[in-house]
């Protein structure tokens, strides 16, 4: 599943191509196995990210506002092709096709796609209200309030729920994916199975504050980096490094399928001992890289 910074970077890439552009045709597929439905020509207006959701505001020839919302999930992608070029994926996997004068933008195999008439004002209307009910504050939003996120976690997450699940729960805060989950827990010395009720508010706040910091840091081009002093091809602390030496203590990094959905999780058994509730020190509760 893409991290929140991936979707914000995608929005930044698509925005100059789409915003204000005349679309010769728009087509969407309501569900797998159903045909593409043609919606005719439209004008592309605003485009923005909301957590892991990409929101495109469109206007029809009769000035009717529409919203195209996609959530890519594990396998979804947006592709760009010249008109007439062969697609790299089968046409039956295309769930949205936007046709411009000189190119086509195609969304393949998204986890979710919603095509909505917006009865009020663009993307601030009904679909986003429904989205707000299931998606927490976007950690990349300029106005994000980390203290409000902590309060939301305390209110909505069961005390015995493990941190590995809490951090991935997009209804609590949107933007953290599997990479940041493992990296944040390492940075703050938290074992992934630690129940959130055993974690202090300062540690919980530090986890989400570092999530904001790292997500914003990685909006720039290039590889995703969580280390304070990254070396070439050594950008992360534990994610994807099963069996390798911890960059802090040289213990062997472990991996297991943990949590409600059995997501792969990496951690250091020495820096993140089970039964320890973590640290709120900065940066991330660990010594700077040696």
- Report the catalytic residues: 2-3, 52, 263
Cβ(180)–Cβ(142) under 8 Å? no
Cβ(63)–Cβ(83) under 8 Å? no
Token digits of residue 179: 């990479």
Type and span of the H or E element at 203: helix 201-217
- Least Cα distance to 186 among 140, 248, 262, 232 occurs for 248
Residue 170: helix, strand or coil by DSSP?
Answer: coil
Angle at 9 between CA 13 and CA 227, to 5 degrees: 145
Cβ(280)–Cβ(201) under 8 Å? no
Q: Pairing mode, if any, of strands 65-71 and 77-82?
A: unpaired
Token digits of residue 243: 């069996």
């Amino acid at each position: 599943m893409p991290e929140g910074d991936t979707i914000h970077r995608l929005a930044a890439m698509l925005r100059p191509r789409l915003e204000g552009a005349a679309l010769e045709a728009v087509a969407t597929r309501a569900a797998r196995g159903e045909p593409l439905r043609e919606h005719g020509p439209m004008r592309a207006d605003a485009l923005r990210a909301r957590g892991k959701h990409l929101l495109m505001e469109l206007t029809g020839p009769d000035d009717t506002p529409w919203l195209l919302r996609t959530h890519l999930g594990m396998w979804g992608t947006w592709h760009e092709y010249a008109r007439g070029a062969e697609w790299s994926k089968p046409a039956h996997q295309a769930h949205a096709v936007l046709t411009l004068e000189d190119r086509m933008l195609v969304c393949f195999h998204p986890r979710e796609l919603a095509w909505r008439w917006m009865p009020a004002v663009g993307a601030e209307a009904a679909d986003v209200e429904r989205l707000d009910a299931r998606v927490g504050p976007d950690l990349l939003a300029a106005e994000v309030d980390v203290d409000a996120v902590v309060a939301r976690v305390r209110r909505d997450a069961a005390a015995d729920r493990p941190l590995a699940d809490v951090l991935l729960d997009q209804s609590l805060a949107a933007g953290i994916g599997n990479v940041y989950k493992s990296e944040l827990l390492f940075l703050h010395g938290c074992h992934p199975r630690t129940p959130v009720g055993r974690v202090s508010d300062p540690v919980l706040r530090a986890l989400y504050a570092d999530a904001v910091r790292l997500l914003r840091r990685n909006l720039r081009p290039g590889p995703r980096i969580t280390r304070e002093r990254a070396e070439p091809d050594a950008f992360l602390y534990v994610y994807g490094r099963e069996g390798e030496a911890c960059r802090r203590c040289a213990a062997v990094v472990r991996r297991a399928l943990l949590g409600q959905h059995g997501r792969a999780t990496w951690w250091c058994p020495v820096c993140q001992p089970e039964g320890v509730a973590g640290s709120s020190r900065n940066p991330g509760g660990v010594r700077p890289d040696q």
